[in-house]
Amino acid sequence: MMRLEEQRALVTGGTRGIGRAIAARLADEGASVWITGTDGGRAETAAAELDGGRSRVRGIELDVRDPGSVKQCFGRVHREGPLHILVNNAGISRDRLLMAQSREDWRLVLSTNLDGLYACCHAAIRPMLKARYGRIVNLSSVVGIHGNAGQAAYAASKAGIIGFTKALGKEVARRKITVNAVAPGLVETDMTSHLTDAARKRFRIPIARAGSPEEVAAAVAFLASPEASYIVGAVLEVTGGLAP
Ligand code: NAD
C-alpha cells in the first residue's frame, strides 16, 4: 500500500514550480490531488498533464486573495469528500528596498501570502476537526527565519506563516490534525528566475547549489503523511544548509 493511498489533498498554486512538484509527489504516493490556479482552465490543463491518465490529479480555480473564490473552491472539494491534506503553497514576492516599496505591493504580498493562507486554513479546518484527522503544510521560507535585504514584505509574510503554523498547530493537535511548515532556501522556479548570477552568489549555500522543487516536495510529502503524526508546529528547513 502506498503511503498516501485514500488520502485527498489540495495544493494551492500547484500548477507550476514547487507546488507542481508537491502535487506530483503526493499523487505518486497514492493521493487524489486537487491543484489550483487563478485561471480554472489552466489549472485543469496542468492537472491533466500531471495526471498522465491515472485519474488522481484535478484542477480547480482558486484565487486565495478572494474570499468568494476560496468559498467556492473548498465548497466543491468538500462536497466530493473529506480533505485530508492541505498544502498552502501559493505565494508571491515583490522585492524592493523598503524606501522603494509601495503600500500596494506590501498589501499584495501580505494579502496573498498571509491572508490567503488564513482563508484556506479557515475553509479547511472545520471539516478536519469533525473528521478528527488532517495534515496542513505551509510553505514558509528561510527568509522568514533570517530576513533578507530587499525582502521586508516577503519576509514579514513568511515569518507570519511560521507564527500562524505554531499557533494553529497547538489549537488543533488534540484532534489529530498536525500543522507544520517547510522553509525552503533558494529553489529554481519562476519566482527565482529573475535573480542574477551576482545575486545567487550572495546566497552562501554549504551544499553549493540551488535546491530543486522535488527536494522541497519530498519534505512536504513526509509532513503530509500519516507517519508525521507526532510533529506539530515544526519548521522543516530545506535549504542545503543556507543560514544567512
Ligand atoms: P511560483 O511563482 O513558481 O509559484 C507560485 C504559485 O502561487 C503559482 O502557481 C501561482 O499561480 C500561485 N499564486 C500566486 N498568487 C496566487 C493567488 N492569489 N491565488 C492562488 N494562487 C496564487 O513560485 P515557487 O517558487 O514555486 O513558490 C512556491 C511557494 O514556495 C511560495 O509560497 C514561495 O514563497 C515558497 N518559496 C519559494 C522559494 C524559491 O526559492 N522558489 C523559496 C522559499 C519559499
User: Is 144 a pocket residue for ligand 1 (Cβ < 6 Å)?
Assistant: no
Which residue minimizes the CA distance to atom 31 of ligand 1? Answer: 91
Asked if residue 2 is part of any domain, the answer here is: no
- The per-residue pLDDT string of the chain (244 residues; one tens digit each, 9 = 90 and over) reads 899 999 999 999 999 999 999 999 999 999 999 999 999 999 999 999 999 999 999 999 999 999 999 999 999 999 999 999 999 999 999 999 999 999 999 999 999 999 999 999 999 999 999 999 999 999 999 999 999 999 999 999 999 999 999 999 999 999 999 999 999 999 999 999 888 887 787 888 999 999 999 999 999 999 999 999 999 999 999 999 997 6
Q: Is 19 in the pocket of ligand 1 (CB under 6 A)?
A: yes
Instruction: With respect to residue 244, please indicate whether it lies within any of the assigned structural domains.
Output: no
Confidence at residue 195, expressed as pLDDT on a 0 to 100 scale:
83
- Residue 169 CB less than 6 A away from ligand 1: no
The predicted pLDDT at position 11 comes to 98
Does residue 3 lie within any of the structural domains? no
Q: Is 113 exposed, middle or buried (0-12, 13-18, 19+ CB in 10 A)?
A: buried
For 110, other C-beta atoms within 10 Å of its C-beta total 16
In which domain, by residue range, is 157 found?
A: 8-237
* 243 domain residue, yes or no: no
- On whether residue 35 sits in a domain, the answer given is yes
Strand order across the beta sheet in which 32-37 lies: 57-61, 32-37, 8-11, 85-88, 134-139, 177-184, 235-238
Pick from 44, 69, 89 the residue to mutate for probing ligand 1's pocket: most ligand atoms within 8 Å of its CB. 89
Residue corresponding to grid cell 508525521: 228
65 within a domain of the structure (yes/no): yes
CATH code, domain with 49: 3.40.50.720
**Tally of domains in the chain:** 1
Cβ neighbours for 239, distance < 8 A, ≥ 6 positions apart: 142, 183, 184, 185, 186, 205, 211
> Counting atoms of ligand 1 from 1, which one is nearest the CA of 69?
19
Q: Is residue 181 part of a domain?
A: yes
Tell me, what's the pLDDT at 1? Answer: 84
Q: Looking at the domain assignment, is residue 24 inside a domain?
A: yes
Ligand 1 in contact with 128 (CB < 6 A)? no
**Which pLDDT value is given to residue 132?**
98
Residues with catalytic function: 154
Atom of ligand 1 nearest to the CA of 154: 34
**DSSP secondary structure letters along 117-165:** HHHHHHHHHHHHHHHT-EEEEEE--HHHHH--TTBHHHHHHHHHHHHHH
Task: Indicate if ligand 1 lies below 6 Å from the C-beta of 187.
Answer: yes
3-state helix, strand, coil in the chain (%, to 5): 50, 15, 35
Tell me what pLDDT residue 243 has: 78
